[in-house]
Structure 1
């Protein structure tokens, strides 16, 4: 299981209460807003905006929220001015971590991110220190229950997906970023429910973390980063045995 889908599965098993749902919506709204600001409010002519809208729909965000976020980006409604910054570092066990942020105060954000890394026993690194270990891909997760693998593969691959990977609880569909929305649209047309659909950084290789102390510290680091208001996405190249995850829960 890739580091991306492992972390996604862990988050889903922990459950998404209303507070978590609010944070997810806030992050998605920021992405839609900046995508519209950079490339315009027409999703057909703005691939990043289209991908952001697709991700928002996969989280059941109301259409009104999406429309308001687009209007903030295009300047039709007032909104905060955000700057995109990517932070890179190493977490416990030598795990590479990428942190995508959108912030209106980069001094506050970098101080908080550095604190989380240091507290976990990791360290925040220089730009480029770990990004080369990841590939940018569309990642779509589909729960295995009630899904025929062969049929899913036919739909996904015919729509332009690169690969369909079977994992413990779900199938992970990988695409090139430019094919992401088309694959999601085709899955929806065929009544396939996506538990997650996002453009992500997929690790080329994973680091096994099979000892309790570094595993616990790593998961705490990832949780702290995810919970930060300025953090959009967190990517890491780890694998923790399922039995150890259960023991730490």
Structure 2
């Protein structure tokens, strides 16, 4: 069993190597953890409801339907936030915003920026007023000494799939091995396996792939018939070309900027060149 902060295996060269570790999640999840170190209370209702709104909209768009009966990823996200105490009214509002048929979905826009001289930032938004949204994004960036400029060369577009499994499965190793082999056959590139920090009785599996293989990998791992398997994410991500280990001061500066950008209700996802998957 391998251990450490981050363990990864390339499927093509090591399809049967397994690692169970604790790692830091990327995207705004990572920066939320850093903000915890600053004393921020992520259990506050405003933060929780904002995260629910973003995650529900992203899951609805990524899964191709705002109907949870037709979108297993969305169903999993809704279940998660209902368990966390998010009111049904908030969930229904997010679903309505994600539904193009109701005319409230808005347009997807992506902004690029450079922060602190070296950190690439990609901000994904969903808006019904692009002028308002870009004004708010620019204001947050300027406040933190950042500015808009092309930075996508600092990232690779990847497919990303995350699954949750019952850690108490009697044949857990056999099941995970089968899922990894299925992902390999569907052109997945890398995988990670580790304990779920929020739910100690669960194992998380992550797979990355070329963008065009996302649907194939998702289908391969979710059609396994494992009763306790839950699809948590299936989406396109911006993955840093180079992994950089920032110092604590840089992490806190980036966390402040991400927090400011996330405060806008039009923001869906934020990616930085300091993230790791």
TM-score (norm 2): 0.62
Q: 1:219 aligns with which of 245, 255, 271?
A: 255
CA distance in 2, matches of 1:145, 1:131: 38
Q: 1:20 aligns with which of 47, 54, 60?
A: 47
Number of the residue aligned with 2:160:
138
Is 1:57 the counterpart of 2:75? The answer is: yes
Between stretches 177-186 and 93-102, larger displacement belongs to 177-186
Asked if structure 2 preserves the Cα contact closer than 8 Å seen for 1:88 and 1:131, the reply is no
Number of the residue aligned with 2:32:
11
- Once the two structures are superposed, residues 178-223 of structure 1 have per-residue CA deviations (whole angstroms, 9 ceiling, x without a partner) of 23542563477341356x414122223222211x332211011112
Between stretches 49-58 and 112-121, larger displacement belongs to 49-58
Q: Per the alignment, in what secondary structure is the counterpart of residue 26 of structure 2?
A: helix
Number of the residue aligned with 1:96:
120
CA distance in 2, matches of 1:16, 1:171: 25
CA distance in 2, matches of 1:81, 1:239: 28
Between stretches 98-107 and 147-156, larger displacement belongs to 147-156
More helix by share: 1
1:51 Cα deviation after fit: 11
1:228 Cα deviation after fit: 1.6
Is 1:203 the counterpart of 2:225? The answer is: no
Asked if structure 1 preserves the Cα contact closer than 8 Å seen for 2:98 and 2:104, the reply is no
- Structure 1: unaligned runs, 5 residues or longer: 36-45, 241-249
Q: 1:158 aligns with which of 177, 182, 190?
A: 182
Asked if structure 1 preserves the Cα contact closer than 8 Å seen for 2:59 and 2:73, the reply is no
